[in-house]
Amino acid sequence: MPYLDHAATTPVLPEVADVVAAQLRSTGNPSSLHASGRAARRVIEEARETIAAALGALPTEVVFTSGGTEADNLAVKGIYWSRRAADPRRSRVLASSIEHHAVMDSVEWLGKHEYAEVEWLPVDHTGRVDLAALRHTVEADPSSVALITVMWANNEVGTLQSIRDIVEIALSYGIPVHSDAVQAVGHVPVDFAATGLDALSISGHKLGAPVGVGALLLRRDLNPVPLLHGGGQERDVRSGTLDTAGILGLATAVDIAVRRQSHEARRLAALHDSLVRVVIDAVPDAVRNGDPEGLPTIANFSIPGCEGDSLLMLLDAYGIACSTGAACSAGVPEPSHVLLAMGISDPLVRGSLRFSLGHTSTEADVAAVANVIASVVERARNAGLVNRSA
């Protein structure tokens, strides 16, 4: 089955499945003092070192979470609360207007319930944050900024941000910067220390580990207010018994994904280009969304005269899994805030379709799309005409 939805979740790597299954057979709470507990603790600490080494962080900077959503919530809310507690003037939160809901909704929640003044940073038509606008916003009153959060790679269109330039703007004012790098790790080089970031989110199931494990890389001098209270694990920032098997899976997946990154990026870029050619040849008026210099794994199109949902369902009938640009909240599709922020017109936003590639992708997946895309688009357009005349 052609699976072209790796940005939603990617298959667990076989090496990861093996180590996770083996680890699940051993018992031991990493906080227990007996031999089984100490053995589990060793697994956790080795995993922490592996992840730190792969991503340019210190082992003490790795805070394990249940995934990207939790890492984003902890960074955004926790840093906001601690910065505001230290100085009540710090109430502004600056976030890009194309963040994933895990960041966007956390920021909005702070605005509604915690007196945050939220400022959404504009992006250009490719989805890149306007750095001049960011500088202007920061410099209007730097002492009132609690934090800046800008994602490394966008999950809908694959656009990459200049994280170093963003950190540079914040650095001279001592403003912490968080980046959601859930879609970046394994696809582009990610070095936490080199960027100067204060916090960075990763998620296991986007890079070949199981769902339900992730991490926040967090500088030692930042003490976000925890979201979860309990046993005081993970620097007292994230309480809860550590998931030894999941964390081992995360470390194994990060290690493999980072070691294979440059080879995979070249392989997937070639597949990506042939996928784009196939779609544009079959549907000449299809519009590509995003920055052509973005992730080699995401190809987002708008197809005039179609509903993204119809395209998705028709492709699904041929066994091809992909996604629309629309975010689905509680089963109700909403027009993509990402595409709207990029200035794309409403009908094109509704006709958007995302193919995303990953470690199991091959030419056969592209060929499957090539075989059906023209007829799928024709049928989706006809369905649109019928719906409009009904």
Binding site for ligand PLP (CB under 6 A): 67-69, 72, 100, 102, 151, 155, 180, 182-183, 203, 205, 214
> Is residue 72 a contact partner of residue 100, using CB atoms and an 8 Å limit?
yes
CB closer to ligand PLP, 95 vs 138:
95
From CA 49, how far away is CA 34, in angstroms rounded? Answer: 22
Residue nearest ligand PLP by beta-carbon distance: 68
State how beta strands 214-218 and 62-65 pair.
antiparallel
What is the identity of the amino acid at 182? V
CB of 263 to ligand PLP, least distance (A): 23
Q: What sign does the CA torsion over 130, 223, 187, 374 have?
A: negative
CB of 366 to ligand PLP, least distance (A): 23
Please provide the DSSP assignment of 189-249 as one string. Answer: ---HHHHT-SEEEEEGGGTTSPTT-EEEEE-TT--PPPSS-SS-TGGGTS-S---HHHHHH
> Is residue 111 a contact partner of residue 133, using CB atoms and an 8 Å limit?
no
CB of 158 to ligand PLP, least distance (A): 11
The residues carrying an active-site annotation are: 328
CB closer to ligand PLP, 163 vs 372:
163
From CA 190, how far away is CA 169, in angstroms rounded? Answer: 19
Q: Which of 131, 121, 183 lies closest to 158, judged by CA?
A: 183
CB of 74 to ligand PLP, least distance (A): 12
Both tokens assigned to 2: 């052609």
Phi, psi of 65 (to 5 degrees): -135, -175
**What torsion do the CA atoms of 155, 293, 266, 339 make, to the nearest 10 degrees?**
20
From CA 253, how far away is CA 249, in angstroms rounded? Answer: 6
CB closer to ligand PLP, 56 vs 204:
204
Q: What sign does the CA torsion over 166, 167, 172, 175 have?
A: positive
> Is residue 35 a contact partner of residue 46, using CB atoms and an 8 Å limit?
no
CB of 39 to ligand PLP, least distance (A): 27
Q: Which residues pair with 147 in a beta bridge?
A: 93
Q: Which residue's entry shows tokens 């070691």? A: 259
CB closer to ligand PLP, 205 vs 219:
205
Whole-number Cα distances in Å, 260 to 13, 295, 383 = 12, 15, 43
Q: Count of residues for the chain?
A: 390
CB closer to ligand PLP, 218 vs 306:
218
From CA 177, how far away is CA 347, in angstroms rounded? Answer: 35
CB of 212 to ligand PLP, least distance (A): 8
> Is residue 244 a contact partner of residue 28, using CB atoms and an 8 Å limit?
yes
CB of 151 to ligand PLP, least distance (A): 6
CB closer to ligand PLP, 72 vs 365:
72
CB closer to ligand PLP, 69 vs 297:
69
